[in-house]
């Protein structure tokens, strides 16, 4: 059966409008990642979303994302991409200087995503064992990789890997405390964290020759700058 010309034209127009709307809605998950991360993770619900907020209705969000959990995943994935770009390893400077730059960029992200960051690390997501947990673990692996790159280390010995992961937990806790209290300046906090890493690497170096050699190299480069 052939449709009349007007009906076919109307169908094509409706299809094009639907495709355009889907594209705009999907695009908002990426371009508006910061807002989605703040609202979806911190509030844990979409009930406060209204038509016109961000330009997409709640019905459209549910239709194209499948529900609030899917929006969590999309927002978290978008935030992870932003963090990956922010933490692109610096190409110049001494190892500890590159680490300082990366840490500053990390806290730029923490500060601009304060509510979502706090909710995520304090259990804002009901279940981290699924895709959301994989994204969080991926962010932590990314951070470890960026730290190793800053220190000019390809494959860390076990003691160094454990040391760096412990320090990453310290950074996360410091970020939460700073967001809650803000009674220490960010530059001071960032310097403190770098100094803490140097100290624990020195202690770890007593238990592993490779970590000890890395500490000696870093200390030599800093002293001779």
Specify the pLDDT at position 22: 42
Q: What is the CATH number of domain 87-225?
A: 1.10.357.10
Q: Taking the chain (225 residues) in consecutive chunks of 10 residues, what is each chunk's mean pLDDT?
A: 46 48 46 53 45 48 58 80 86 91 94 85 60 84 92 95 97 96 98 96 97 95 83
The Cα 63–Cα 83 span in angstroms is 28
Q: What is the pLDDT of residue 86?
A: 87
Instruction: Read off the tokens for 23.
Output: 């594209």
What pLDDT is stored for residue 80 in this prediction?
85
Give the count of beta carbons closer than 10 Å to the beta carbon of residue 159: 18
73 burial via Cβ count (<10 Å: 0-12, 13-18, 19+): buried
Stretch(es) of the chain classified as CATH 1.10.357.10? 87-225
Tell me the CB-side half-sphere exposure of residue 191, using CA atoms within 13 A.
5
pLDDT confidence of residue 58: 55
Query: Comparing C-alpha atoms, which of 134, 51, 171 is closest to residue 61?
Result: 51
The CA angle 147-142-176, to the nearest 5 degrees, is: 80
Cα 125 to Cα 40: distance, rounded to the nearest angstrom? 10
56 and 23 in contact (C-beta within 8 Å)? no
Residue 167: the pLDDT is 97
Nearest to 126 by CA among 186, 69, 46: 69
Cα 126 to Cα 65, 77, 193: the distances in Å are 18, 17, 30
Q: What is the pLDDT of residue 123?
A: 60
């Amino acid at each position: 059966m052939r449709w009349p010309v007007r009906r076919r034209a109307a169908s094509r127009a409706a299809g094009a409008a639907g495709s355009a709307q889907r594209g705009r809605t999907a695009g908002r998950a990426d371009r508006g990642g910061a807002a989605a991360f703040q609202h979806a993770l911190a509030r844990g619900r979409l009930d406060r979303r209204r038509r016109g907020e961000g330009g997409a209705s709640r019905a459209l969000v549910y239709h194209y994302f499948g529900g609030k959990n899917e929006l969590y995943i999309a927002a978290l994935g978008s935030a992870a991409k932003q963090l990956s770009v922010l933490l692109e390893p610096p190409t110049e400077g001494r190892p500890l200087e590159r680490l300082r730059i990366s840490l500053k960029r990390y806290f730029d992200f923490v500060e601009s995503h304060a509510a979502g960051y706090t909710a995520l690390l304090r259990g804002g997501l009901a279940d981290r064992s699924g895709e959301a947990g994989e994204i969080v673990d991926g962010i932590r692996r990314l951070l470890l990789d960026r730290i190793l790159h800053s220190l000019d280390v390809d494959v860390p010995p076990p003691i160094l890997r454990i040391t760096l992961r412990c320090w990453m937990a310290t950074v996360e806790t410091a970020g939460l405390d700073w967001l809650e209290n803000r009674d220490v300046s960010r530059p001071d906090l960032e310097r403190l964290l770098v100094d803490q890493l140097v100290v624990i690497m020195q202690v770890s170096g007593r238990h592993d020759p490779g970590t000890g050699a890395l500490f000696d190299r870093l200390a030599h480069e800093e002293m001779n700058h």
